[in-house]
Amino acid sequence: MTDDGTGGRGIGPAGCGDGGAEGADTGAPAALRADGGAVDDVALDPWGSSTVDDYRKLFEEFGIEVFEEVLPRIPSPHYLMRRGVIFGHRDYRPVAEAMANDEPFAALSGFMPTGDPHIGHKLVFDELIWHQERGGEAYGLIADMEAHAARGLSWDEIDEHTESYLLSLIALGFDPEDGTLYRQSANREVQDLAFELGTKANFSELGAIYDFDGETEVSYMQSVVTQMADILYPQLDGPKPTVIPVGPDQDPHMRLARDLAGRMRYFGVTEAYASFESEGAESELLRRAYKKREAYADDPERPRCAEAAQWLLAEQKTAEAMGGDAFHDETTLESLIQKVTNKLENAGKEPLRPRVRFLDRNATDDAFEALIEAIDGEKRVYEGHVDAFGMDREAAEELARDIELEHGGYGFLPPSSVYHRFMTGLTGGKMSSSVPASHISLLDDPEEGYDKVKSATTGGRETAEKQRELGGKADECPVYELYAYLLSGDDDEFATEVYEECVGGERLCGGCKEQAAELMGEFLEEHQEKREEAKELLEDLDIELDSDRKR
Ligand code: TRP
Ligand code: SF4
């Protein structure tokens, strides 16, 4: 019907990497590159139909991290990770660590039931299943409220597709008895959590993130806080590293969710050097001033704020105060020093001293009292915060979370995410649910799937002769993508062989497509058998497949 963020959107062939230099070269020639050709702008819009043409920009502009960098920390990574299909992440380390140490973690993703599940969704299904097999709590949810509010689907349509997504997820290996499946509309806990999270977000913020305006329906906005609640749902019974596998179009949701997780916390923990507040570069400057106290303090045991201010002003042009080229922007440096020295001068005789600061954000009085009580060593209590001397940041974070949990707070950890590439459509361009020939539905007849692969565009040359001479362009070939993303399964050797034979000119498109088409037919046949078997399992679960809602 329509493109949905979890995988329905394609990338242009350029996005599939033309062998750029700093790509995710995971060692296997078959690995796809994370750097697309430099094309157009990137817009991350959960409901837009924009494609991601340049994955590199996602790293630079949005701060998505390169997945390859966490790869070595993951015990036997999934083939989608090894092949660079999963190309980016936010904060995946805690999840990888929990996995490696047999500690609790969770994986959750959601699907808008706007059409039939297709091979793009299979990527996410596989990611959930993989995390479940590695000991994670796994959650699959049907974003029916979002489909109704943001896409205008009727509840009848939603019901029909809901069942279909769940069947495919189970058929591919999701264990519903061990994991959790739910639909947003039937999950009271999620809606209650959404309501709470809604107390920490306002209209201007949603407007800025999602381009909402005065015409945006209230239920549409409600579907956003519902998604925030989905993302934090695995932590309702206690904080744990949680990964959300999604397409990069969902990144705005992730940023908001990570932010809201923090805003719900009882305490914020920061580092400080005096009673006044400082942040970022200001703190950095204060840290340096503290380090240099021997140089200016009458009594280096008790450097005074005013002394530090004088030193900073005097040294402001010297490389030492600037810490080499760490603050190279002159005007910023000047105004920064101005700000910091003002604060220092106001603090006057107060000693400059490093400390961790607990800010009271949402704590109950009892919790704040208990925190103060629990701080060992020297501490100083202020109106909305308490400073602890001789405690490191990590210990402080832990203490803050413990007290919060003991006093009825959630103690949320910021949720992590992993991002996969969108598949290229079989007809070139983007894979779109609304163009049947561009994608393969998990419900397509095996023969239909076979035919679609047979008529797919390729990265082949005009003639067989040229192909033998120059080799095919596997990096731009939707058929090669099928091999890498799906048909080779866990078999890297096979994927590599296809790649090398193609670019080496030994493989011609006719035979290559025939092989892919047959494999696709087999996959669909087997998958559909398993869907039949999954029906029984699904019936046993108490998940409402007939929503009974009007409209
Ligand atoms: N917004 C997602 C989509 O467009 C669906 C979704 C809802 C989701 N809740 C979620 C995805 C939680 C990941 C996690 O498909
Ligand atoms: Fe694509 Fe196969 Fe042709 Fe290579 S040989 S371009 S992988 S269809």
How many separate domains does the chain show? 1
Cα–Cα distance list, 33 to 308, 315, 457 (Å): 50, 47, 20
487 lines ligand 2 (CB under 6 A): no
pLDDT per residue as tens digits for the range 451-465: 999 999 999 999 999
Q: Which atom of ligand 1 has the smallest separation from the CA of 108?
A: 14
pTM of the complete model: 0.87
CB atoms within 10 A of CB 192: 12
Q: Which atom of ligand 2 has the smallest separation from the CA of 459?
A: 6
Say what the pLDDT of residue 49 is. Answer: 60
Distance CA 315, CA 374 (A): 40
Contact 213, 77 (CB under 8 A): no
Confidence of residue 430 (pLDDT cuts 50, 70, 90): confident
Provide the percentage of residues in the chain whose pLDDT is more than 70.
88
Does 203 map to a domain? no
**Residue 211 DSSP class:** -
**Residue given tokens 């990570």 in the structure block:** 258
Does 330 map to a domain? yes
The range of the structural domain enclosing residue 402 comes to 268-406
Does 62 map to a domain? no
Say what the pLDDT of residue 334 is. Answer: 82
Distance CA 234, CA 20 (A): 38
Ligand 2 centre to CA of 82 (Å) is 21
pLDDT per residue as tens digits for the range 504-548: 999 999 999 999 999 999 999 999 999 999 999 999 998 989 888
Distance CA 471, CA 482 (A): 18
Distance CA 505, CA 520 (A): 23
Distance CA 230, CA 109 (A): 8
Mean pLDDT of 108-126: 96
| Amino acid, single-letter form, for residue 125 | F
Q: Which residue has its alpha carbon closest to ligand 1 atom 11?
A: 110
pLDDT per residue as tens digits for the range 57-82: 888 888 999 999 999 999 999 999 99
Ligand 2 centre to CA of 115 (Å) is 30
Ligand number nearest to the C-alpha of 243:
1
Q: Which atom of ligand 2 has the smallest separation from the CA of 477?
A: 1
Q: Which residue has its alpha carbon closest to ligand 1 atom 3?
A: 5
Does 437 map to a domain? no
* DSSP string covering 401-462: HHHHHHTT---PPPPEEEEEPPPBPTTSSB--TTSGGGS-BTTS-HHHHHHHHHT---S--S
Say what the pLDDT of residue 18 is. Answer: 31
Closest by CA to 230, choosing from 366, 326, 117, 106, is: 106
Ligand number nearest to the C-alpha of 511:
2
Does 278 map to a domain? yes
**Residue given tokens 């340049």 in the structure block:** 54
507 lines ligand 2 (CB under 6 A): yes
Confidence of residue 47 (pLDDT cuts 50, 70, 90): confident
Mean pLDDT of 73-102: 96
Does 528 map to a domain? no
Q: To test the ligand 1 pocket, which listed residue (111, 131, 145, 182) has its Cβ within 8 A of the most ligand atoms?
A: 111
Ligand 1 neighbours by CB, cut-off 6 Å: 4-6, 46, 108-112, 141, 143, 146, 227, 230-231, 244, 246, 250
Does 307 map to a domain? yes
CA-CA-CA-CA torsion sign (296, 300, 304, 308) = positive
Ligand 1 centre to CA of 194 (Å) is 14
CA-CA-CA-CA torsion sign (293, 298, 303, 307) = negative
Ligand 1 centre to CA of 111 (Å) is 6
With a cut of 80, say whether residue 54 has pLDDT above it.
no
pLDDT per residue as tens digits for the range 11-43: 222 233 333 333 333 333 344 433 333 334 456
pLDDT per residue as tens digits for the range 374-400: 999 999 999 899 999 999 999 999 999
Contact 268, 361 (CB under 8 A): yes
With a cut of 80, say whether residue 328 has pLDDT above it.
no
Does 38 map to a domain? no
Say what the pLDDT of residue 345 is. Answer: 96
Distance CA 242, CA 236 (A): 12
Ligand number nearest to the C-alpha of 416:
1
